Structure 1
Amino acid sequence: MGLILHFGLGNFARAHLLDYTADAGGWEVIAVSLRSAAVRDGLAAQGFAYDLCVQGVGVKRIEVLRDVLVAPKDPGAVLAAMERADILSLTVTEKGYHLGAEDQLDLNDPAIAADLSGPAPATVIGFLARGLAKRRRPVTILSCDNRVANGATLRAAVARFAKVAGLEIAWDIVRFPNTMVDRITPTTTDAVRAISGDPMAVPTEAFREWVIEDDFASPRPDWPGVQLVADVAPHELRKLRMLNGAHSLLAYAGLARGYCFVHEAVRDPQLRALVTQLMTEAGATLPKEAQPQVPQYAEALLARFENPELAHRLDQIAMDGSQKVPYRFVATLRAARAPAVAAGLRAWVGFCISEAARGHPLNDPKAQQITEAARGDDPVTNLLRLVGAADLRSLIPE
């Protein structure tokens, strides 16, 4: 039986990679928690199985997970499992890559610096570098995070860490295919737990999508419905600029209007018109081969956003804005001066200034820098500089 070792066991991984792998059969997953033992303990109490509550379809029992390793408690066990696994996968969000300027690994990041100097790794970058240095048979590293060129970016970060740490990696037996993942997966609520009767249940929509660059060094599951392609870029740009960009616009502008959920915000006539315009503008920046699908894709996105059963919270989407804004708004504005996309960037700036003024703690890896920037003499320019967009200052009126 094949083995996937997956770093990061949030709701998305459990609704996406684990669901696909359960459908494929013949494979099992061991997960790694990079922080606490809470999820491990909850899942262990029920044999590592859990309910996937698929809106409009029903409850699906996922039984592909075999164990959860808690990295802070036993990093050695994680490294040992890395030697056995056929695929090393991860969903650690943008901040888990510890990137700095020009999307390169930030060697001054405290967590990365600690991994470079300490006896055992704590970050996924540190684990991958040290685990791959011991690897003697082919392996595929599969990023399932929402970012452009996720595989290539991850490879560059691991390579930089390895070089500084003096680790030798057999790069000819390692592959980092780029991927695009999609499935709206909200936070689990007490209502979901009560309906399913499973304290570890995960809510999700029926739609799911996974596009993977066909570049594997090791065996893989026969995932049903997964698209294996030569170039993921058109798919990932479509998702990031249209879906994720629209989500972030709804989050920041919707919170400012007092909404709590995506389905509430998208029913606001002004926000709906703005988000529809954003999709059109973003679609125009996509590669030519992707543009014929833009109108149909935009229509499908609006239908997904309108679904009240998902109860997708705006504050969940608003998290980690400093890591998301460069890819969801700034990159699009580099390709075209798009008014609705600029409105999304303005909404993020306004959100940061408002939260700082109220003294609300931000859920963002740059929370302190954002608060200081928002309280400075020129908060708009300060905030744009944090996301590498100071040159777009003219798009944000006073």
Structure 2
Amino acid sequence: MTTKLSLATLPAVSKTASIPAYARENLTAGIVHFGVGNFHRAHQAIYLDDLFNLGLDHDWALIGAGVLPSDAAMREKLAGQDFLTTVVEQDNNRSGARVTGAMIDYLAPGNAAATVAQLADPAIRIVSLTITEGGYFINPASGIFDPAHPAIAADAANPSEPKTVFGLILAGLKARRDKGIAPYTVMSCDNIPHNGKVTHAAVSGLARLSDPGLADWIDANVAFPNGMVDRITPATGPREIGIVADDYGIDDAWPVFCEEFKQWVLEDKFPQGRPALEKVGVQFVPDVAPYEHMKIRILNGGHAAIAYPAALLDIHFVHEAMEDPDIRAFLAKLELDEIVPVIPPVPNTDLRDYFGLIERRFSNPKIADTIPRLAQDGSNRQPKFILPSTADRLSRKEDVTGLALVSALWCHYLAGTTDSGKAISFNDPNIDRIHAAAKAARAEPAAFLELRDIFGVVAESDLFRKRFANALTSLQRNGTRATLKLYLEDRLAM
């Protein structure tokens, strides 16, 4: 027997899960958030829920905002349960469920006027977003905003009818400027180096295409704090919905599963105020960059490194990949030999110890994070998580055998079949051209490196081209496992 999640059923739900200690009707909105996915509901919404449970800052509740047509399904599911979410936190030794109530409404996609009106409300002092690495309209190789992208060009031509996140944010800022209302802070919660700077470039860059004066006003008045976010949060499917029903007796249309660990490091740049998140574990620091480098290159880079050998060996779950001795040893050698040595120092942090923490987190069997999730969107993730380490080593005239192998593994994966001959299903916005380049690389490895918007200057390095070609040739001739063993034995670069 399950209980349908809603505000009315919280007393029944409290028998198996913790519930908000605050009255939802006492919350008022202070934040509009674009991108109401699993990560947001397991991270930012959790921190706010913790804060509200302390009896603090009840005027900082969340209003979700949809942009894509697919967001309508999420809104419908959450609206059907009063915007409550069951979050199941899973460590190796414990599991526990909680219901969060930090979100009080969700703006439907497709109604720009309603969204802009909400953004123009003086009560909204922060606009936050988790729109994935690929949602910022930046050139993957350079990290620079691309004003020629068709979606950006369309919003620039019709600023009163925005279709993108940045068009909506810009329209909201314009409405506030025109009404003499102080601008909100725009806070990215995505895994992108200098995510505040990148978001500023997108908002201001779009404004400059149609209204340079508005762009100047944004540059002078709007804050875009950088931040580092971290929590492993797998996708939700029938398995997760079933566990919440069977183990906790809760009928939740879209629960969230996550690890127990979480981290959020932020620059304290909020001119219109902010919730007292430091009281619930958020670190406010003058410079987020060292934390960004550490997390993006060690954790996200580690995920990118194990995704493709695991997929090629028909491994489905991340913890199963970590149980494979060759993949686990490959990750450790790559991280400790090539990635960690080029990461700048992080305050009060031993980077080797941090990698040890990452190993343990990847090995958590209860999370059930999947290799297909890690392998998706490689054309956006590789330039952000792997190739910066490659470029740094090359600039220092250091070898890149392992990092070139990661790129070769991605190329080999994109050719379309696992080592056992199974067809691979892709999930990447650029799949047509990267798949074609991977197939061309079967005959000529350098063909894959012609994806210059992805590889950038790295592809111009003779050493990288040599290491990449050698690794790809080995993968094609010897297979994934044998190639990993050659790398582990320091024989791949011979």
Shorter-chain TM range is: over 0.9
CA pair 129-358 structure 1, distance change in 2 beyond 3 A:
farther
Moved more, 217-226 or 283-292: 283-292
Please identify the structure whose Cα radius of gyration is greater. 2
For 1:174, the aligned partner's letter is V
Q: SS in structure 1 opposite 2:254?
A: coil
For 1:343, the aligned partner's letter is L
Alignment partner of 1:53 out of 85, 88, 96 = 88
Task: Determine what percentage of the aligned residue pairs are the same residue.
Answer: 35
Q: SS in structure 1 opposite 2:416?
A: helix
Alignment partner of 1:365 out of 423, 429, 448 = 429
1:85-96 map, 5 Å: 85-96=124-135
Paired with 1:166 and 1:272, the residues of 2 have a C-alpha distance of 52
Q: SS in structure 2 opposite 1:277?
A: helix
Q: Which residue of 2 aligns with 1:394?
A: 466
How far 1:145 sits from its partner (Å)? 0.5
Paired with 1:291 and 1:241, the residues of 2 have a C-alpha distance of 18
Paired with 1:129 and 1:88, the residues of 2 have a C-alpha distance of 11
Q: SS in structure 1 opposite 2:350?
A: helix
Paired with 1:163 and 1:82, the residues of 2 have a C-alpha distance of 20
1:383 and 2:451 aligned = no
Paired with 1:307 and 1:29, the residues of 2 have a C-alpha distance of 30
How far 1:238 sits from its partner (Å)? 0.5
For 2:131, the aligned partner's letter is V
Moved more, 351-360 or 294-303: 351-360
How far 1:129 sits from its partner (Å)? 2.0
User: CA offsets, 1:9-66, max 9 Å, x none?
Assistant: 1100110111111111212100112113100000111111010011124101011111
CA pair 165-382 structure 1, distance change in 2 beyond 3 A:
farther
Q: Which residue of 2 aligns with 1:66?
A: 104
TM-score normalised by structure 1 residue count: 0.94
Paired with 2:323 and 2:385, the residues of 1 have a C-alpha distance of 22
User: CA offsets, 1:209-228, max 9 Å, x none?
Assistant: 00001211221111210000
Paired with 1:379 and 1:140, the residues of 2 have a C-alpha distance of 49
Alignment partner of 1:306 out of 360, 363, 371 = 363
Q: Which residue of 1 aligns with 2:137?
A: 98
1:253 and 2:306 aligned = no
Q: SS in structure 1 opposite 2:170?
A: helix
Moved more, 369-378 or 340-349: 369-378
Paired with 1:202 and 1:362, the residues of 2 have a C-alpha distance of 24
1:315 and 2:383 aligned = no
Q: Which residue of 2 aligns with 1:329?
A: 386
Paired with 1:177 and 1:379, the residues of 2 have a C-alpha distance of 44
User: CA offsets, 1:163-192, max 9 Å, x none?
Assistant: 112251433331001110000000113222
Q: Which residue of 2 aligns with 1:134?
A: 175
Paired residues of 2:185 and 2:224 also in contact (CA < 8 A): yes
Paired with 1:338 and 1:235, the residues of 2 have a C-alpha distance of 23
Paired with 2:304 and 2:101, the residues of 1 have a C-alpha distance of 33
In structure 2, the gaps of 5 or more residues are 1-27, 53-57, 246-251, 394-398, 474-494
Alignment partner of 1:286 out of 343, 350, 355 = 343
Paired with 1:380 and 1:133, the residues of 2 have a C-alpha distance of 49
How far 1:291 sits from its partner (Å)? 8.9
Moved more, 211-220 or 378-387: 378-387
Paired with 1:292 and 1:240, the residues of 2 have a C-alpha distance of 15
Paired with 1:325 and 1:291, the residues of 2 have a C-alpha distance of 28
1:13 and 2:40 aligned = yes
Paired with 1:255 and 1:290, the residues of 2 have a C-alpha distance of 35
Paired with 2:403 and 2:143, the residues of 1 have a C-alpha distance of 22
1:159-198 map, 5 Å: 159-166=204-211, 168-169=214-215, 170-171=217-218, 172-197=220-245, 198=252
For 1:317, the aligned partner's letter is L
Paired residues of 2:167 and 2:203 also in contact (CA < 8 A): yes
Paired with 1:383 and 1:121, the residues of 2 have a C-alpha distance of 36
Paired with 2:144 and 2:174, the residues of 1 have a C-alpha distance of 20
Q: Which residue of 2 aligns with 1:123?
A: 164
How far 1:379 sits from its partner (Å)? 5.9
CA pair 290-382 structure 1, distance change in 2 beyond 3 A:
farther
Q: SS in structure 1 opposite 2:316?
A: coil
Runs of 4 or more, structure 1, over 6 Å off, are: 356-359
How far 1:328 sits from its partner (Å)? 1.4
Paired residues of 1:18 and 1:62 also in contact (CA < 8 A): yes
How far 1:202 sits from its partner (Å)? 0.5
Paired residues of 2:29 and 2:63 also in contact (CA < 8 A): no
Number of residues of Structure 1 aligned to a counterpart in Structure 2:
397
How far 1:295 sits from its partner (Å)? 1.7
For 2:402, the aligned partner's letter is A
Alignment partner of 1:353 out of 400, 404, 415 = 415
Paired residues of 1:71 and 1:122 also in contact (CA < 8 A): no
For 2:363, the aligned partner's letter is E
Q: Which residue of 1 aligns with 2:62?
A: 29
Q: Which residue of 2 aligns with 1:156?
A: 201
Paired with 1:381 and 1:116, the residues of 2 have a C-alpha distance of 37
How far 1:110 sits from its partner (Å)? 2.2
Paired residues of 1:141 and 1:174 also in contact (CA < 8 A): yes
Moved more, 108-117 or 11-20: 108-117
Paired residues of 2:440 and 2:448 also in contact (CA < 8 A): no
For 2:77, the aligned partner's letter is G
Paired with 2:104 and 2:29, the residues of 1 have a C-alpha distance of 12
CA pair 49-250 structure 1, distance change in 2 beyond 3 A:
same
Moved more, 251-260 or 341-350: 341-350
1:42 and 2:67 aligned = no
User: CA offsets, 1:317-336, max 9 Å, x none?
Assistant: 11110101012111001111
For 1:293, the aligned partner's letter is D
Q: Which residue of 1 aligns with 2:116?
A: 79
